[in-house]
Structure 1
């Protein structure tokens, strides 16, 4: 495909995404609201009953650990079984775990139980967040992937980042039991909504090159080999890992930048975060439309470069209003990278490898974040908090140009795979 916009995609993007996608979107929205509540509530419970910085940090580590331990095996499972069933089961487990925790933790709240809850939720999230994106190419036409991913991204940002946390705070102010029960109920609703989506035909058992089904390690190697052997996937995943480092390094220091450089209190810091989220919501609307007119690789590359420039500019700001505008612009650029690249990976990956490629993608993005947070702290100690943003932003902009320079054209997608025949009702 030449370096021009894909012909005829505008009409496809304006078409109805269909009833199956609406069921998936509704279920994802409910689970994202549950995520927003639980991710805010669990640290509050730890701080209230175990006010030790190490205990709070340990909760985050335990919650993220499943991504490092199980991401690649989760990709194999997603490619071997019904992806709808995996997402549904993950929501059932999360709902039952939180509803059970509302009873068990009504009195004492031992740290070990809170950690066990966080770890269980992390395992379920690893499975659900690997399976759900792998389902999407079977529910919508490949020309509508940016639009579908944009709608899912908007729901995640609004409900997970903007609505869920304040609701969790309000509920926790009444009683932690109510907050836990609300989170559990939302996951239960997410599972029920997914019942509206017809079961997907088996995606095709993971097979080795000789046609025989292999073990988990063999299937993991097959997925890694496909990613490493595909230049576009390999380079965009390297860029995602770099972005994960920069994002976590800067985000871990944002509260200090807000306090020391911008002179904001807690409310001001919350407004800064809200500005970034509003920009990301706008970007989730703009990115699919930009992808309709520009080559995807060009849009993704320059969005990543612009995000790096925004981080660097943020480190130079001393005016809160200008800092908020920069963060809002960066939210647009972040989704201008995430949505096209996610859609590109879905489009380039054969059906039977969708889960494994998605798991490698999440491992690169999420697995690099602890490294970034550590580097952010070291840079702040060695230089200053604003310098973390200018240095990391510059590295991201230059790294994006170098890593993605070889990708001058949108690569051709494999032979189109028809949407599942049981899901053709557009209702």
Structure 2
């Protein structure tokens, strides 16, 4: 029986996940700190020079557009190449892009250049964030996936969403070029930390998972997951999509992820305006508001692996996503910054209650030679929908109001989570 089929009996003691994982963790921490700075700084630059809801939403849409355009071919690339080099190269590209932007945008900040930078960073992110999760099942034992994903999520939240945004607000108050250069230096550090990690190839060079466990091989695979006859890119893409579509649990959780991505993007693209116009906060206050949500997510990243020891993966994920929708509604209805921060903190806990179990579930159910492609389909569903969500958020704000975006989207997420995940029970490993 798959370990996700029933409440886990694993103990809650601290587990040493090994040096390769720690190297990946350190690199992820550095790159997420860079993410926190750039994702906070770019909207602030747009608001300062182009204070229009559609222009602000457009930045998020452009940044997430590469997931819609390139997610599927990137999954093939991740399964064919050394995943470590993909992550390393992506961080190096982001470091160079921000170093150049620090010089170009020091004086003039036209919208087209801000959009171009966001798009370039989005392409690099598509590569890195598909390859890194596909590496994880090769670095840790299957039974420790929730803990490994939880620790990576904690690093992402603490540095990318708690430390990064306030630091970006502080640096932006001094000089935008300094903030961009700092983000570039962090990406460069992330690349350097992966140099000494052993190569982690995709299909054809992959060995057994830690602990000796291997998922079922896909048709056409040889021993150890090596492909006997590799087809073209389109054939590889179709193979990954077929695997997902034939698996009911993957189908339904990916549909829920698509809805979650739409809601997250619609609300996140408007958060800077909610902070500025509705709550009357400064740039630093906006960073602190984001940090409140991140604090809840840190708590969630600690609680969720422990909750997964006692609850089934499906049940934990279903009710966490439902509660996240309620938190969005409360955020939109919050009359002041304190209550908005509480709502964001609660949402952070619930988002981790969805993300960690579902990511671990996909890693556990996917054969080694399909990890990159299944991850790319997952990212396409959850992040590829974000450009659409960002634009919808801007349009809803124009038609209704900025707070209404959060209320409407939260209600839709709550209803959608209950409907989409209702057919799943506690045995998610069947087709």
Structure 2 length-normalised TM: 0.85
Q: Which residue of 2 aligns with 1:78?
A: 78
Deviations 1:262-318 (A, max 9, x none): x54336555433321111111011111101111111100111111122223344443
Paired with 2:182 and 2:280, the residues of 1 have a C-alpha distance of: 32
In the alignment, structure 1 residue 287 sits paired with structure 2 residue 288: no
Distance 1:15 1:269, change over 3 A: closer
Bigger CA drift: 78-87 or 245-254? 245-254
Q: Which residue of 1 aligns with 2:6?
A: 4
- Secondary structure, in 3 states, of the residue corresponding to 1:184? helix
Paired residues of 1:67 and 1:363 also in contact (CA < 8 A): yes
Paired with 1:125 and 1:349, the residues of 2 have a C-alpha distance of: 22
Deviation at 1:160, TM superposition (A): 1.5
Q: Which residue of 2 aligns with 1:421?
A: none
Paired with 2:171 and 2:79, the residues of 1 have a C-alpha distance of: 38
Deviations 1:57-111 (A, max 9, x none): 5544433222121111100000001101111111122223333444555566666
Bigger CA drift: 158-167 or 309-318? 309-318
Distance 1:312 1:171, change over 3 A: closer
Paired residues of 2:83 and 2:135 also in contact (CA < 8 A): yes
Deviation at 1:4, TM superposition (A): 2.9
Paired residues of 1:97 and 1:117 also in contact (CA < 8 A): yes
Q: Which residue of 2 aligns with 1:185?
A: 185
Deviation at 1:332, TM superposition (A): 0.6
Structure 1 segment 411-426 matched on structure 2, within 5 A? 411-412=428-429
Q: Which residue of 2 aligns with 1:326?
A: 343
Bigger CA drift: 64-73 or 330-339? 64-73
Q: Which residue of 2 aligns with 1:230?
A: 247
Deviation at 1:377, TM superposition (A): 4.4
Deviations 1:128-160 (A, max 9, x none): 010001100110111111111111111111211
Paired residues of 1:32 and 1:156 also in contact (CA < 8 A): yes
Q: Which residue of 1 aligns with 2:426?
A: 409
Paired residues of 2:301 and 2:352 also in contact (CA < 8 A): yes
Deviation at 1:225, TM superposition (A): 0.9
Deviation at 1:409, TM superposition (A): 1.2
Paired with 2:113 and 2:403, the residues of 1 have a C-alpha distance of: 38
Paired with 2:337 and 2:331, the residues of 1 have a C-alpha distance of: 10
Paired with 2:96 and 2:6, the residues of 1 have a C-alpha distance of: 49
In the alignment, structure 1 residue 273 sits paired with structure 2 residue 259: no
Paired with 2:342 and 2:109, the residues of 1 have a C-alpha distance of: 41
Paired with 1:98 and 1:380, the residues of 2 have a C-alpha distance of: 31
Distance 1:378 1:78, change over 3 A: same
Distance 1:97 1:248, change over 3 A: closer
1:217 to 216, 234, 242: 234
Bigger CA drift: 55-64 or 122-131? 55-64
Deviation at 1:172, TM superposition (A): 3.8
Paired residues of 1:208 and 1:218 also in contact (CA < 8 A): no
- Secondary structure, in 3 states, of the residue corresponding to 2:75? helix
Deviation at 1:198, TM superposition (A): 1.6
Paired residues of 1:27 and 1:193 also in contact (CA < 8 A): yes
Q: Gaps spanning 5+ residues in structure 2: where? A: 207-216, 221-227
Paired residues of 2:260 and 2:413 also in contact (CA < 8 A): yes
Q: Gaps spanning 5+ residues in structure 1: where? A: 415-427
Q: Which residue of 2 aligns with 1:420?
A: none
In the alignment, structure 1 residue 308 sits paired with structure 2 residue 325: yes
Deviation at 1:55, TM superposition (A): 6.1
Paired with 2:202 and 2:45, the residues of 1 have a C-alpha distance of: 41
Distance 1:398 1:270, change over 3 A: same
Q: Which residue of 2 aligns with 1:153?
A: 153
Bigger CA drift: 162-171 or 285-294? 162-171
Structure 1 length-normalised TM: 0.85
Paired residues of 1:79 and 1:205 also in contact (CA < 8 A): no
Paired with 2:118 and 2:403, the residues of 1 have a C-alpha distance of: 33
Paired with 2:336 and 2:50, the residues of 1 have a C-alpha distance of: 33
Aligned residues: 410
Distance 1:298 1:171, change over 3 A: same
- Secondary structure, in 3 states, of the residue corresponding to 2:11? helix
Distance 1:110 1:400, change over 3 A: closer
Q: Which residue of 1 aligns with 2:214?
A: none
Q: Which residue of 1 aligns with 2:37?
A: 37
Structure 1 segment 127-166 matched on structure 2, within 5 A? 127-166=127-166
Paired with 2:114 and 2:404, the residues of 1 have a C-alpha distance of: 36
Paired residues of 1:89 and 1:191 also in contact (CA < 8 A): yes
Distance 1:254 1:96, change over 3 A: closer
